Structure 1
Amino acid sequence: MQNQLAQLKKMTKVVADTGDIEAIQRYQPEDATTNPSLILKASLLPSYQLLLEEATSYGKLQSDDVSEQVTHAADWLTVGIGKIIQQQVPGLVSTEVDARLSFNTEATVNKARELLKLYEQQGADPKRVLIKIASTWEGIKAAEILEQEGVRCNLTLLFNFAQAQACAEAGVYLISPFVGRILDWYKKAEEKEFAAAEDPGVQSVTRIYNYFRQHGHKTIVMGASFRNTGEIMELAGCDALTIGPDLLSMLEQADSPVEQKLFENQQGLDTQNNVLDESAFRWAMNEDPMATEKLAEGIRNFAKDQQALEALILQKLG
């Protein structure tokens, strides 16, 4: 029998949640996704030191102002890593906009355009890039503008149904609803363990997937942030799943049958179909302490890792 990873690939697009080229080459995913934390981790690997040097040199050429040099170098490095990953996968690579812009629609749109220009400058294919943006109201509105320009987006840090619904209504190409971080919150709040089928993160993604199929939304659902392979098994059949190297390895080493749980024509019982305006979106977030806390925490942590990356670049510039 084939291993679980090979079985899963037959029913779900498997995306590598890493910037590690060796891991990508080993597990051969169709797509890959990165974030500021993964870019920071990758920038410390020996294989990326030459690219880090190139990035600092690029930054120096763009401005005499040190802070601007750091920004330019960080963007160049992020795109450079994306380009290398793009050479290893046949499909798409997600590149994230600076998390500190999460509440600024115009700045997010402008940064996305800059990143795509850098992909072009580096000789990569901007059409094979997904611009990754936090699922704030401002981020969703930025994605709506970009999608209308033909730029496909991946909306991340997505923890509840309202975020997903707003993304679908904005015509977003893909969403990354988080599973493991939802589980983390409920385990702490309720002081209990959850079986995979009862996992609140699994249930959240299942509801979103079924709702999208039921109402004809074209937005791709890509489950993310997994804590164990049980969560992955419960979402087999989802459009896509982005999985880190440790869990990919576990799937590769296991050979028990993988049963498809989500289906394209599966009919849910969710009749919610009122279009969300800004006030309804913000109220839905306000009423969901888990989503509010995890979204804010995720933005803070990505911003922290972006700042750590910039500190590393500043050291190189110095």
Structure 2
Amino acid sequence: MGSYPDTVNLLEYLRSRSQIDCDSLDLELATELGPFVDCTSNQADSYLELLLPQRKAILERSAALGRQLLSEYPGVKYEQLAVEIAMVNLSLAITPLITGAIHVMSNPTLTSTSEIVENAQRIANLCRRIAPDFDMSRLCIKVVATWEGLQACKSLTALGINTLATTLFTMEQAILAGEVGCIYIAPFVHELKAFFDATYDDGGPNLNLCVEAQRYYKERHCVTRVKAAGLLNAGEAKQLAGVDSMTIAPELLRTLSNTHEAEIGITDSSIFERETKASGQKIEEHSFVNEERKYREAFARSYDGKGKWKTQEAINIFCEYQIKAEGLLRDISVTSPTQRDLLLQC
């Protein structure tokens, strides 16, 4: 590699300003560009990873264990349980390559608070069962930022289970997530659809939500931290330098790793740098945790209704991949001898 006088590697510079996480379950990527702190994942990541030939053993092992444990979880369909096991297995595989937590997403098709709580507890139990020596403080459950999902986070916090509020597009969601004790929120810089449809124009990034939420939490000494998600390019990453954390997809990670720029120019790009220098009044405090009607009305109005629409669109996409993953596990046929061999590996 040639020298770059008076420049810095962009990925390493960002690591000096923010926690950098891997938004992928790709073991080769984590080895190549790590160490990362956390690893975030979702139903789409998991489904696409399970299609890879090198993941066949995890796919079959998860199917076998799902059949074995099904009777222990009345009311849960085999394919749902098997997907949960597969997602836990994929996340556990990457833990030796990261220094922080794995973020496993709960089933996005579940809509009631009680269902989400039960689902998250089951994921935690599966994690303990598959890896008894795993430090459970390194597990974080990603929960969709609906009213019901965030109320589930409140219950899970009381149970000692870490949560992250995902599919988050508004300050109303951010405020409630802080009130219920989420350790992270993941504001989406872009609509999720922009990552699955190259022709889709979502109108540009919403970077200010990350700034506003982080400032709100710090002013009130909240435990909740901002983990920016859904970045599309290096320019957005530079602007977010200084955010608590950002989780970055593989293609952009490689771009950042191969980019060298003058440090002063990168620093000047940061909206957090400008926020630090600016003196402003505190953001007005709100409380929604015990005010469902107030929250729903404020959320519905946020960004002229676009926040609510973007949230539902993102949830719908994750639901599609949940269903695809269930179909993949449903179609796995495990013969008895192989099943015994696979179960011995669990």
Give the TM-score of the pair, scaled to structure 1. Answer: 0.90
Whole-angstrom CA distance in 2 between matches of 1:283 and 1:14: 35
Q: 1:74 to 1:272 in 2, by over 3 A?
A: same
Residues 9 and 260 in structure 2, CA contact (< 8 A), matched pair in contact too = yes
Superposition deviation, residue 113 in structure 1? 0.9
SS in 1 for 2:231: coil
Pairing 1:86-101 to 2, within 5 Å after superposition = 86-101=95-110
Q: Which residue of 2 aligns with 1:187?
A: none
Which residue, 97, 112, 116 being the options, matches 1:108? 116
Deviation per CA, 1:89-140, whole angstroms, max 9, x where unpaired? 1111100000011x31111111111111111111133221111000001111
Q: Which residue of 2 aligns with 1:175?
A: 185
Residues 193 and 314 in structure 2, CA contact (< 8 A), matched pair in contact too = no
Structure whose alpha-carbon radius of gyration is higher? 2
**Stretches of 4+ moved more than 6 A in 1?**
64-67, 263-266
Which residue, 307, 313, 331 being the options, matches 1:291? 307
Q: Which residue of 2 aligns with 1:242?
A: 247
Q: 1:315 to 1:183 in 2, by over 3 A?
A: closer
**Amino acid in structure 2 at the alignment position of 1:212:** Y
1:317 aligns with 2:333: yes
Which residue, 57, 71, 81 being the options, matches 1:72? 81
Superposition deviation, residue 292 in structure 1? 1.1
1:215 aligns with 2:223: no
Q: Which residue of 2 aligns with 1:152?
A: 162
What are the ranges of 5 or more consecutive residues in structure 1 without an aligned counterpart? 185-190
Stretch deviating more after TM superposition (92-101 or 204-213): 204-213
Residues 222 and 242 in structure 1, CA contact (< 8 A), matched pair in contact too = yes
Superposition deviation, residue 182 in structure 1? 8.3
Which residue, 257, 273, 278 being the options, matches 2:292? 278
Q: 1:261 to 1:43 in 2, by over 3 A?
A: same
Q: 1:85 to 1:192 in 2, by over 3 A?
A: closer
Whole-angstrom CA distance in 2 between matches of 1:268 and 1:11: 22
Residues 175 and 286 in structure 2, CA contact (< 8 A), matched pair in contact too = no
In the alignment of these two chains, the number of paired residues is 306
Stretch deviating more after TM superposition (82-91 or 258-267): 258-267
SS in 2 for 1:281: helix
Deviation per CA, 1:179-232, whole angstroms, max 9, x where unpaired? 022896xxxxxx8965xxxx4x11121111122222222211011001211111
What are the ranges of 5 or more consecutive residues in structure 2 without an aligned counterpart? 1-6, 195-200, 335-346
SS in 1 for 2:109: helix
Question: RMSD between aligned alpha carbons?
Answer: 2.3
Whole-angstrom CA distance in 1 between matches of 2:106 and 2:193: 26
Deviation per CA, 1:71-102, whole angstroms, max 9, x where unpaired? 2211111110011021221111100000011x
**Amino acid in structure 2 at the alignment position of 1:117:** N
Whole-angstrom CA distance in 1 between matches of 2:235 and 2:276: 23
1:5 aligns with 2:14: no
